[in-house]
Structure 1
Amino acid sequence: MLNDQKKLGLMVSVSPDKPGFAQALTQAEKALANGDKVYLYCIDDAVEGLSDSRLIKLKSNGLNLFGCAYSVRQRKLPLNDSAIFTGLSVLSDIMADTDRFESFN
């Protein structure tokens, strides 16, 4: 049997109070509901939302959540278990290895 599961990559760079953040979460939610594998990478101001309750819910539904370690350090935010903290090489891998990639700025 063939695996029809699609992979969606999302990058978010805007803070949680901006429309782009909510739009990315809506895309993630729809894709997860369709049975897709979703990789969401928060960078720049979006790292401020890594503990957002909406992201926590999406993680419990299968979202693969990554945070830019450099962005977190620049904002003096704590590293915790809200996401996998990585560098840009992981973002590059997400871009290369997903069926579709979208950016929310």
Structure 2
Amino acid sequence: MQRKKLGILLSTPQSHPSVETVATLSSEALAQQIDVYLYLIDEGVKNVRDPRLTELAHRGVKLFACAYGCQRHGVSTEGLDPAISLCGLVVLSNMVAGCDRFLAFT
């Protein structure tokens, strides 16, 4: 049987409570053997070095950050954790189409 897939979009900075919600939700989904795909966009790219999210990436969350968003918000991608993929909106589009559930935290 194929595993369920959960897609999550995060567009808020570290100071927003949604970051903790996304981290907790992702962790719980992993514990239930659900594949988690997390896409950071807009101000969400400011979380690219957040230890809560990088730890999740090492536990199995597929973590993507919008390359244009990083450039636009002055987020350096130098020395970025290799568990994080820089990409464009095509990846986001594929996530929306390919996941069983998709949640947006904006």
TM-score w.r.t. structure 1 length? 0.92
Is structure 2 residue 47 aligned with structure 1 residue 81?
Answer: no
- 1:51-85 deviation line (CA, Å, top 9, x unaligned): 11101211111010000011100112222433211
Separation in 1 of the partners of 2:64 and 2:58? 14
Aligned residues: 103
Alpha-carbon offset, residue 87 of structure 1: 0.8
User: Which residue of 5, 19, 24 maps to 2:17?
Assistant: 19
Partner AA of 2:80 in structure 1: D
Question: What SS class does the counterpart of residue 54 from structure 1 fall into?
Answer: helix
The percent of aligned pairs where both chains have the same amino acid is 36
Partner AA of 1:81 in structure 2: L
CA RMSD of aligned residues (A): 1.0
Partner AA of 1:90 in structure 2: V
Partner AA of 1:16 in structure 2: Q
Aligned pairs for 1:55-70 (under 5 A) are 55-70=53-68
Separation in 1 of the partners of 2:10 and 2:75? 17
Q: Which residue of 2 aligns with 1:33?
A: 31
* Structure 2 unaligned blocks of 5 or more: none
Question: What SS class does the counterpart of residue 67 from structure 1 fall into?
Answer: strand
* Structure 1 unaligned blocks of 5 or more: none
Separation in 2 of the partners of 1:88 and 1:9? 14
Alpha-carbon offset, residue 16 of structure 1: 1.2
User: Which residue of 8, 14, 28 maps to 2:6?
Assistant: 8
Structure 1 range deviating more: 36-45 or 22-31: 22-31
TM-score w.r.t. structure 2 length? 0.91
